[in-house]
Amino acid sequence: MRDDIDVLVHEVGPRDGLQSIQTIFPTQAKMDWIKREAAAGVPQIQVGSFVPPKNLPQMADSAEVVRRSLEIPGLTVSALVPNLRGAENGFAAGAHQIGVVLSVSEAHNMSNVRRSVAESLDGFSEIVAHRDADDAYKDIVLSGGLATAFGCTIDGKVEVSAVMRVAEEFLKRGADRISVADTVGYANPKQVRDLFDELYRTVGDDVPVGAHFHDTRGLGLANAFAAVEAGVRELDSCLGGLGGCPYAPGASGNIVTEDLVFMLEGMGLRTGIDLDGLLAAREIMERHLKDEPTQGSFVTAGRPLGFEPATAAA
Amino acid sequence: MRDDIDVLVHEVGPRDGLQSIQTIFPTQAKMDWIKREAAAGVPQIQVGSFVPPKNLPQMADSAEVVRRSLEIPGLTVSALVPNLRGAENGFAAGAHQIGVVLSVSEAHNMSNVRRSVAESLDGFSEIVAHRDADDAYKDIVLSGGLATAFGCTIDGKVEVSAVMRVAEEFLKRGADRISVADTVGYANPKQVRDLFDELYRTVGDDVPVGAHFHDTRGLGLANAFAAVEAGVRELDSCLGGLGGCPYAPGASGNIVTEDLVFMLEGMGLRTGIDLDGLLAAREIMERHLKDEPTQGSFVTAGRPLGFEPATAAA
């Protein structure tokens, strides 16, 4: 990680946000959003997902969005892939980081991708082999994502030991980093701290570990704080909390990027991000929304009088 | 504190929530709300404020609400007073706990009550003397409240040393407990932890300390978690987050009682409160609202599959 930031905020809105709403953003709208947010200092953006267009038409232009995002100086461009086919396309497009996610909960993984966890891990190994077979791909960072790590809507409780097993398998098979997700918004901050404490004991302090929280039950930022306290230095978030589906009021989106950055900067942790720039990016994003609601508190409340962000103004 | 709960959740909606909205609740509506919430297990409720009715007509029936709340078995009834006159009325009504709040920020205190902090502290001493002069009042708990402890909309930054000075003065003058408030929603969780760490070093671990957070910038529950981590065992909150003024979108209310209870119970901390009962109380409260919005995530998202609250079901 860059040495001028303390926590890497990984914007996932163009992927997780957009795939959760009805509106399909034109490619240019995605690029306007991505460029403005990168200009605000966001160091890494997940710009798309390499899935069959019939499954997620919102993501059909991911190759082009990756290619155009690569032209933005200093931005780390990430994308998600579900399998080897997707990885081949993501690698070819040139993404710096490719995320592969499986659900720690067997029932959730089966329901999502019709594979056991073991089969999904084998699929991850194929992706690693594909990268390692081509020298042109050697710098691509492969991220192993652990969904439903804090609980599952089908299985309920998910054992910490199961999370540890999958994390170790990912690393054994060649993951450069792992990302732990509260996919369904079940986590509480004590659980978060305990799980990351155990994870660092299990995999060591040198493995880059990210966290991905949803704010479904209002605890998203409390969980983010707990993760940071436990040592996590990479957090996913979504500008405006995009992704709360208007047809399912309980299905809230990711934690809100601008609220997260406000929290971290106030705590003295440098994100490299300018809050006013984030609000400008949010406006651009919101112009293209139809009925989808956005979330967030900082956008209405603004900065406290005398607020001093950790990241010095440019 | 009762030994069957780990954290005391102090509902302040009938005071802080109702005084921040336009709708004036009839006394019976307040009582329906208070009774239902007490039945859910909420151990302490701030039911009113002894201020001149022309200033806050919503609170004009506070004496009657206190008297009727005293009939609810097991409920600790608290009220707020601004000065000796209010305390006389609050004592006479029979409230178990009386809160007296001043702003640590001189400018905020002057703007609010036209007194310096020193004058407000002298006013607190008068209230203590009035209690101590009458044996009938000897069991009344006097709480010293420190508003704007994390920052101020007029002065900006508020020094931790100023908070410590006021806390020590409150205790020296006879406060039984102190309550530290982020009145304007400026705090971040690191600041919260640092301030409470310093407070316990200053006043010792034996003084009961409460915390009062607003969710203005989305960090309310993160701050509550940080306070609990620092050792705080009494938290103010408001059912449905009532108090976000519809005419000032940035002016969000207190942290949401049901979301707070969900967080604490999930963390293994017993509140003695039943979440379904809270939602039933929320429904009763909402029936009387006009255009005022309510907040909260648990009410739409519900409990996670397999959720095990720390407080055993009755």
| Residue B310 included in any domain | no
Task: Report d(CA B146, CA B166) in Å as an integer.
Answer: 7
Are B306 and A262 a contacting pair at CB < 8 A? no
Asked if A157 has any chain B CB less than 8 Å from its own CB, the reply is yes
* The total number of structural domains that make up chain B: 1
Q: Could you tell me which chain B residue has the CA closest to the CA of A304? A: B186
| Residue B306 included in any domain | no
Kindly state the tokens that stand for B213. Answer: 């957070």
Sign of the CA dihedral running B163, B165, B169, B171: positive
Whether A152 is a known active-site residue: answer no
| Residue B314 included in any domain | no
Convert the pLDDT of each residue in B123-171 to its tens digit. 999 999 999 999 999 999 999 999 999 999 999 999 999 999 999 999 9
- Please choose, from the candidates A219, A282, A242, the residue with its C-alpha nearest in 3D space to the C-alpha of residue A16: A242
Domain, as residue range, for B63: 8-301
User: Of B39, B72, B92, B245, which is the active-site residue?
Assistant: B245
Is pLDDT at A67 greater than 80 in this prediction? yes
Convert the pLDDT of each residue in A108-152 to its tens digit. 999 999 999 999 999 999 999 999 999 999 999 999 999 999 999
Task: Report d(CA A234, CA A227) in Å as an integer.
Answer: 9
Q: Could you tell me which chain A residue has the CA closest to the CA of B224? A: A222
Is pLDDT at A247 greater than 50 in this prediction? no
Is pLDDT at A1 greater than 80 in this prediction? no
- The proportion of chain A whose per-residue pLDDT surpasses 70, expressed as a percent, equals 97
Q: What is the predicted pLDDT for the residue at B314?
A: 47
Q: What is the predicted pLDDT for the residue at A97?
A: 98
Task: Report d(CA B238, CA A47) in Å as an integer.
Answer: 39
Mean pLDDT, residues B68-93: 98
- What are the Cα distances from residue B125, in Å, to A183, A234, B118, B120, B122? 53, 50, 11, 9, 5
For chain A, what is the mean pLDDT?
Answer: 95
Convert the pLDDT of each residue in B86-122 to its tens digit. 999 999 999 999 999 999 999 999 999 999 999 999 9
Helix axes A62-69, A84-93, angle to 10 degrees: 40
Q: What is the predicted pLDDT for the residue at A246?
A: 44
Asked if B153 has any chain A CB less than 8 Å from its own CB, the reply is yes
Q: Which residues contact B196 (CB under 8 A, 6 or more apart)?
A: B180, B209, B211, B226, B227, B230, B231, B232
| Residue A307 included in any domain | no
Q: How far is A170 from chain B (nearest CA, A)?
A: 27
Q: How far is B186 from chain A (nearest CA, A)?
A: 6
| Residue A258 included in any domain | yes
Query: What residues does A297 pair with on adjacent strands?
Result: none
| Residue A60 included in any domain | yes
Asked if A238 has any chain B CB less than 8 Å from its own CB, the reply is no
Convert the pLDDT of each residue in B185-224 to its tens digit. 999 999 999 999 999 999 999 999 999 999 999 999 999 9
Domain with residue B82: its CATH number is 3.20.20.70
Q: What is the predicted pLDDT for the residue at B244?
A: 62
Tell me the pTM: 0.96
Q: Which residue has the higher pLDDT, A291 or A304?
A: A304
Asked if B227 has any chain A CB less than 8 Å from its own CB, the reply is no
| Residue B2 included in any domain | no
Convert the pLDDT of each residue in B8-54 to its tens digit. 999 999 999 999 898 999 999 999 999 999 999 999 999 999 999 99
Neighbour-count burial for A232-263, b at 16+ CB within 10 Å, e otherwise: bbbbbbbbbbbbbeeeeeebbbbbbbbbbbbb
Q: What is the predicted pLDDT for the residue at B247?
A: 46
| Residue B239 included in any domain | yes
Query: What residues does A254 pair with on adjacent strands?
Result: A214
